[in-house]
Chain A
Amino acid sequence: KQEVTQIPAALSVPEGENLVLNCSFTDSAIYNLQWFRQDPGKGLTSLLLIQSSQREQTSGRLNASLDKSSGRSTLYIAASQPGDSATYLCAVDQAGTALIFGKGTTLSVSS
């Protein structure tokens, strides 16, 4: 049974710092891995999707990597800003449309 773990559960950094969020999964047979952002009480915003054949994806200050063999993904956020404060969720897709989520990392960026 696939399990997704995100470490740390919470992270506080000062503005401007570069940071890395970690995600690990137990079964490497995945279609893709997706990173999301969730603001309190809101829905999920898709940040990056990495297909199983890819190693990384970049969007602006965000870079996500995928190592299927070790069951790991990282989300790198460069030059963090207070507006980046949110919960970041990692999810793997094994069946084409059924995402299995980690519990998330709650990020707080102070000005």
Chain B
Amino acid sequence: KAGVTQTPRYLIKTRGQQVTLSCSPISGHRSVSWYQQTPGQGLQFLFEYFSETQRNKGNFPGRFSGRQFSNSRSEMNVSTLELGDSALYLCASTAVGQSYEQYFGPGTRLTVT
């Protein structure tokens, strides 16, 4: 089975712009979660989608949003980028109803200048 894939792998944006990141889960996994990793805060949960619905949300401002499509692929969007949004963004997929083990993709490295 193919693993979790994320595109793009690297991205450089300017303050004030917006960005969209994409995540394709493992085939058959219907839950996708997003995390932000920074040197200062470590790994923090952003939100989780299951069957196209957001089920859980972390403590991030409304500039961070996401969605999930009927094929379970997910996108996250960050609007009005700030320097502090520079981070590694990771998504994970889970086969809900089984072990709830989360499998992570390689991440998208976002740099905001």
Contact surface of A with B, Cβ cutoff 8 Å: 31-32, 34, 36, 41-46, 49, 51, 89, 91, 93, 95-104
Contacts and interface: CB of A to CB of B under 8 A. Distances in A.
B28 interface: no
Contact of A97 (B33, B44, B104): B33
DSSP class of A's interface residues: helix, strand, loop or mixed?
A: strand
A81 B90 CA distance: 27
A32 B48 contact: no
A36 B42 contact: no
Interface residues of B, number: 28
Interface of B: 4, 31, 33, 35, 42-45, 48, 50, 55-56, 58, 88, 90, 92, 94, 96, 99-107, 109
Contacts of A49: 99-101
A41 B107 CA distance: 9
Nearest to A100: B45
